[in-house]
Chains A and B, each alone.
Chain A
Amino acid sequence: MHSSASSIQTMRLGLIRKLSDYLYHHPRTTLALLLGPPLLWFAVMYLGALFALLANSFFRLDDYTGQVVRELGLNNFIELFQPANRDIVIRTTLMSLLVTLACALIGFPIAYYMARYARGAKKALLYVAIMLPLWSSYLVRLYAWKLLLAKEGAIAWSLEKMHLTWMLDAVLSAPVIGGNSLSFSPLGTLIVFVYMWLPFMILPIQAALERIPPSYIEASGDLGAKDSTTFWKIILPLAMPGVAAGSIFTFSLTLGDYIIPQVIGNSTPYIGNVVYTQQGVAGNIPFAAAFSLVPIIVICVYLWFAKRKGAFDAL
């Protein structure tokens, strides 16, 4: 009894050993076994879905039945070049560029300080301070801005206490950026976009700055450069790949977002809003699919520019 059990045990161990040896001597098989499940999942669930999206963009909606007609055609893409749609694409791209610029201007000093001056506990604290907002709830942060920017909210109150209400009124009555209150103005939309994506800009710039060898900066000083010359001629050019990497995030995140303009702003539509309403209320998935290819194309063009700036070395 006992011996037969242990012989089964030995046999099992022998099998495991054989299997282990087999896998050890056939690394390709091991690789296929490891890679199989994730690759299958991504091929079916994700590439399949992207393919369905692409296919859908060539379908059309039957005007009478409201059903999707699965015939290939270019109607959706012709529709994209209508002036109204073209304006939306231009507006969204412009907003994405503005957000990227603002993030770079606000983010650079923070990243610079983290990389060059902060040490030890202070550095860790700053790192967590940047990372926490990045990972905490997007909607809660958006809600916080609804509270901050409201007509009766904290910003208006603080300005009133500083007797600066006239300044707020002047900004809000300005064309294009103004509105009823900050909460309903394009300026508000811009501020919230910048707030949301700022950490995505800071972290890659900091990483790029950390990689600059201190000897470069010492060499520059030894050769007689002033601190400001060293900054403009050595540090800034070497940090540019980080800025470019960060800008990929800020640009593409703004381009695809439809929730921020829906909650903060004067409800001028952006690309995301059109995609959302077309697939939802209008039930026109084909047109929504075609429109959602626009940000992909814009991002690809942007990536091409970023690659030339060396952004991918800093990711």
Chain B
Amino acid sequence: MRSKPPIALNVAVWAGVAFLHIPLLLIIVYAFSAEDKSYIFPPPGLTTKWFAVAWERDDVWRAIRLSIQVACWSTAIAIVLGTLAAAALARTKFFGRDFVSILLILPIALPGIITGIALRSGYNALDIPFSFWTIVIGHATFCVVVVYNNAVARLRRTSPSLLEASMDLGANMFQTLRFIILPQLGSALLAGGLLAFALSFDEVIVTTFTAGQQTTLPIWMLQELIRPRQRPVTNVVAVIIIALTFIPIIAAYWLTRGDEAPAAH
């Protein structure tokens, strides 16, 4: 029944995939470019010296450290809140359930600028000065939904008879939680956590509105985009960011292959 795809379709598909991936490949090429004044293509020569230059840059290291710290705290908060919400919403039905699930999605469904300026207005109204924690609060809020999605998908896949069997065999709720639910949930939480980490690590819009003087890695990158100061260093940092975000994403995909809603969806 299923015939071969028409040639035009084949062309459209692979052209589309190329469109999505050529820019990423180009970033890798430019990191080795010997040119340091313009974006000339093809690069006049190839060199690895810019990696050494970038390695020596304190501002880059500070930005990477800050971004990792923010992402770790946001992920930790998101895992706690997202798991609790998933446990509450996975099987029980109650009045206002839809409202809660929409509320969880809202920070990521609305454009980042609205979440950003809303948080900024909130801090402003309460006279809270910008700090490390104002960034973490913003990031944690939109990361919850990623953990929640993964945990809910896994909880719904877990058969309720497992829990009943555990209780029938005399385990109390805490033992069931410890020995049945958590091992089932483990890899889904890990995947959700990895995605939340990637999301926070890359977030720029909400950060701009909640950061004050702090420079996370995306803020550093944005400054270079608007006013390029040292292009070769930016090229190298771009490759590093790609490498740092690909690992958690591929890992999360692999961890949740069988779930109803794939992790990164």
Contact = CB atoms under 8 A, between A and B. Distances in A.
Contacts of B182: none
B162 interface: no
A138 interface: yes
Nearest to B205: A259
A135 B249 contact: yes
A27 B92 contact: yes
Interface string A122-154: 000011111111111111111111111010111
Given A109-B16, A154-B41, A259-B205, A41 B141 contact: yes
A106 B15 CA distance: 9
A143 B117 contact: no
Q: Is the interface of B mostly helix, strand, loop or mixed?
A: helix
Interface string A193-235: 0010011000100000000001000100000000000000000
B122 interface: yes
B9 A136 contact: no
Given A139-B204, A140-B221, A143-B221, A199 B114 contact: no
Residue of A132, A139, A218, A256 with most chain B CB atoms under a 10 A cut-off: A139
A136 B249 contact: yes
Contacts of A113: 5, 9-10, 12-13
B87 A295 contact: no
Residue of A16, A38, A50, A288 with most chain B CB atoms under a 10 A cut-off: A38
Contacts of A88: none
A252 B5 CA distance: 33
B124 A20 contact: no
A24 B173 contact: yes
Contacts of A285: 117, 120-121, 124
Residue of A42, A136, A143, A275 with most chain B CB atoms under a 10 A cut-off: A143
Contacts of B87: 34
A131 B174 contact: no
B3 to A, nearest CB: 8
Contacts of B20: 129-130, 133, 195, 198-199
Nearest to A252: B111
A67 to B, nearest CB: 12
A23 B173 contact: yes
Given A109-B9, A292-B113, A129 B106 contact: no
Interface residues of B, number: 87
B138 to A, nearest CB: 8
Given A46-B106, A46-B141, A195-B19, A141 B113 contact: no
Given A139-B225, A263-B225, A150 B114 contact: no
Given A117-B2, A135-B264, A143-B225, A50 B118 contact: yes
B46 interface: no
Given A23-B173, A41-B141, A143-B234, A131 B249 contact: yes
Nearest to A113: B13
Interface string B1-45: 110110001101100110111111011001000000011111000
A130 B218 CA distance: 23
Interface stretch (B48-56, B77-85, B185-193): B77-85
Contacts of A39: 85, 100, 103
Given A110-B17, A203-B265, A252 B110 contact: yes
A35 B100 contact: yes
A307 interface: no
A246 interface: no
B135 interface: no
A77 interface: no
Contacts of A279: 117, 120, 209
Interface stretch (A1-9, A51-59, A164-172): A51-59
A137 B195 CA distance: 12
B123 to A, nearest CB: 8
B125 interface: yes
A116 interface: yes
Interface string A258-288: 1100110000000010011001000001001
Contacts of A262: 226
A289 interface: yes
B39 A152 contact: yes
Interface of B: 1-2, 4-5, 9-10, 12-13, 16-17, 19-24, 26-27, 30, 38-42, 80-82, 84-85, 87-89, 92, 94, 100, 103-104, 106-107, 109-115, 117-122, 124-125, 137, 140-141, 144, 167, 172-174, 195, 198, 202, 204-205, 208-209, 218, 221-222, 224-226, 234, 238, 241-242, 245-246, 249-250, 253, 262, 264-265
Given A131-B264, A135-B264, 15 more contacts: A20-B174, A46-B118, A53-B114, A107-B16, A109-B12, A109-B16, A113-B9, A133-B24, A134-B264, A139-B221, A140-B221, A140-B242, A256-B111, A272-B113, A275-B117
17 contacts: A20-B172, A38-B104, A46-B141, A56-B124, A113-B13, A128-B253, A135-B249, A137-B242, A143-B27, A147-B23, A154-B26, A252-B111, A257-B112, A275-B113, A285-B120, A289-B121, A296-B110
